[in-house]
Chains A and B, each alone.
Chain A
């Protein structure tokens, strides 16, 4: 179960997408997400699907691996879809007792599912092709103009780096604790929601205690390595834009234009 979490996992490689500057990738993903919410028609989603597929293929990451990122959100997607399906007003398509499905509800539910899928696909593609360090460096760099108004850009980036660094360590630890508690007769599988939630307490408490102890140790270790915030810090890898990033921005602008075009077209033709 814990192994399915691909969010924040890096898949090393040398593809075009891997080699883009992290700042380019972050800006592109922001545009991509905005665009997803602008799409008004199935034609637009078709264009989105083609663009996303092209990105996935040019990243050279196995499609199966990229799709695995969708697994943990399935439940969430299903619930959202059901809400949209039953709770949207409009022309009735089907009715049974108090349950009503409308044509508008069906469209909205499908749109919602597609949006969530592409949202997760896009962001996992970002984290899969960008090493966590590059990612946080990129964020720090993009946020640094905001330092003047008091945004702690360096600290935020450092926190993210450390959080990402400790994800595997804490997952491993959780696994160990679950096994240890199971060996002592704890039952995490049966019972209703409340009793299952209660069963989590013996996992969470040791996990938290150990996390605090680790945080303490890490703080001392960082002090020992002369850490003193972001000032005067140099970097092993400096961020550098290249001609590739020009292509990247070009592609996302073209994509945005196409989506706007599909919106206009479907409006004219009266399509959904």
Chain B
């Protein structure tokens, strides 16, 4: 694995972890990975594979029992660096209701900079910037509990952006949202990644979301077992199925067509790609039989 330190923001090195001494199996079993600056990284894995546990290691909520995690070169095990690390790696969780602290949107977004002791004038600027980045400026004086799930989750993201982090880690941020909310979050995150050059680590159960990432890591039983571009990872349909994961429907279709002997690759992700491929195969076949 290339560990070009200049481009690595977070380095997870051979980390082992278990919650309680009495537990029989470790939750993380020597996982190694790195997060590169500016990338959109998706983490997949079935329930209980240790994704949330891994996420909590990225900003020193949990500290590895063996191995180490460094953020911009800062070791998460060093207590003195705690707030430096947390400020750099922001975290958004599944349930937006359980992350919002204040009763007014802008007060909530200001929470992190207030904790960091940022001067008042600068807090104001950051709140404006963060609300603008998630497209929620017009709601700044609303009460969060009156907003939709997707809007609440965007406020949660803004609350993290106000810390000016280098990395945005999200643990299944769309799991509790309806399709509209899910779309809103994906668009917000992709925009941040593209326009603000924000490094994004997104844990998700939705293959369609992972397909939009630059790179995908698949976890199983506390280890990273696959890594690569979405196309590469999803083309390994049988391996993924074996560990209980799905692949995007389009990929699955192409995989099945290939298996039945047609000229298909299983590295097709988007619906457009799939349609084009089906049409071209159909045309070439159709041409052959008509002749």
**What residues of chain A have their CB less than 8 Å away from a CB belonging to chain B?**
10, 12, 131-133, 161-162, 164-165, 168-169, 172, 213-214, 217-218, 220-228, 232-238
In terms of DSSP, what is the predominant structure of the interface of chain A? helix
Q: Which of B97-113 contact A (CB under 8 A)?
A: 97-104, 106-107, 110-113
| Residues in B neighbouring A217, C-beta threshold 8 A | 93, 95, 98-99
Taking a contact as CB atoms closer than 8 A, the residue among A131, A222, A238 that contacts B104 in the complex is A131
Q: What residues of chain A lie closer than 8 Å to B114, measured between beta carbons?
A: 233-236
Given contacts A235-B114, A236-B114, contact A221 B98 (CB under 8 A): yes
**In the complex, B63 has a CB within 8 A of chain A:** no
Report the separation of the CA atoms of residues A235 and B111 in the bound assembly, to the nearest whole angstrom. 8
- With an 8 A cutoff between CB atoms, is B116 at the interface? yes
In the complex, are the beta carbons of A228 and B115 less than 8 A apart?
A: yes
Chain A residue contacts of B90, Cβ below 8 A? 224-225
Q: Decide: B145 and A226 in contact? CB cutoff 8 A.
A: no
- In the bound complex, do residue A169 and residue B61 qualify as a contact, i.e. CB atoms below 8 Å apart? no
Asked whether, in the complex, the Cβ of A218 is within 8 Å of the Cβ of B98, the reply is yes
Nearest residue (CB) in B for A217 is B98
Whether B117 and A133, one on each chain, are in contact in the complex, defined by CB atoms closer than 8 angstroms, is no
- Nearest A residue (CB) for B98: A217
A223 to B111, CA, bound (A): 11
Q: Are B86 and A223 in contact (CB under 8 A)?
A: yes
- Shortest Cβ distance from B97 into A: residue: A169
Contact A165 B100 (CB under 8 A): yes
Provided the pairs A12-B141, A164-B103, A233-B114 are in contact, do residues A238 and B98 lie with their beta carbons within 8 angstroms?
no
How far, in whole Å, are A227 and B83 apart by their CA atoms in the complex?
A: 9
Tell me which residues across on chain A come within 8 A of B83, comparing CB atoms: 226, 228
The interface-forming segment of B31-39, B40-48, B119-127, B219-227 is B119-127
Question: Does B202 have its Cβ within 8 Å of any Cβ on chain A?
Answer: no
Q: Is B163 a contact partner of A225 (Cβ separation < 8 A)?
A: yes
A137 (CB) vs chain B CBs: closest residue: B107
A-B contact pairs, 5 of them (CB 8 A): A224-B91, A225-B90, A225-B101, A225-B115, A236-B106
B159 within 8 A of A: yes
User: Is there contact, CB below 8 Å, between A224 and B61?
Assistant: yes
- Are B95 and A226 interface neighbours, CB within 8 A? no
Q: Are B120 and A234 in contact (CB under 8 A)?
A: yes
- A225-B90, A226-B112, A236-B114 provided; 13 other pairs, C-beta below 8 A? A161-B102, A165-B100, A165-B101, A168-B145, A214-B95, A214-B98, A220-B61, A222-B111, A223-B61, A225-B112, A225-B115, A236-B110, A236-B123
Determine whether B233 belongs to the interface, using a CB cutoff of 8 Å to chain A: no
Query: CA of A237 to CA of B112 in the docked complex: distance in angstroms?
Result: 14
Complex alpha-carbon distance, A145 and B143, angstroms: 31
A220 to B97, CA, bound (A): 13
Identity of the chain B residue whose Cβ is nearest the Cβ of A135 in the assembled complex: B103
Chain B residues with CB below 8 A from A214, complex form: 95, 97-98
Chain A residues near B144 (CB, 8 Å)? 165
Nearest CB of chain A from residue B64's CB, rounded to whole Å: 17
Please give me the 4 A-B residue pairs with the lowest Cβ-Cβ distance, nearest first: A217-B98, A236-B110, A225-B112, A221-B99
What's the least CB distance linking A224 to chain B, in Å?
A: 4
Q: Do A224 and B59 touch across chains, with their CB atoms under 8 A apart?
A: yes
Q: How far is the CB of A120 from chain B (nearest CB, A)?
A: 21
Q: Is the CB of A233 within 8 A of B117?
A: yes
> How far is it, in angstroms, between the C-alpha of A132 and the C-alpha of B124 when the chains are bound?
19
Write out the residue numbers on chain B whose beta carbons fall within 8 Å of the beta carbon of A132: 103
User: Which residues of B lie under 8 Å from residue A169 when comparing CB positions?
Assistant: 97, 145
| A-chain residues with CB within 8 Å of residue B95 when the two chains form the complex | 214, 217
Evaluate contact between B98 and A235: CB separation under 8 angstroms.
Answer: no
> Please, which residues of chain A bring their CB within 8 A of the CB of B86?
223-226
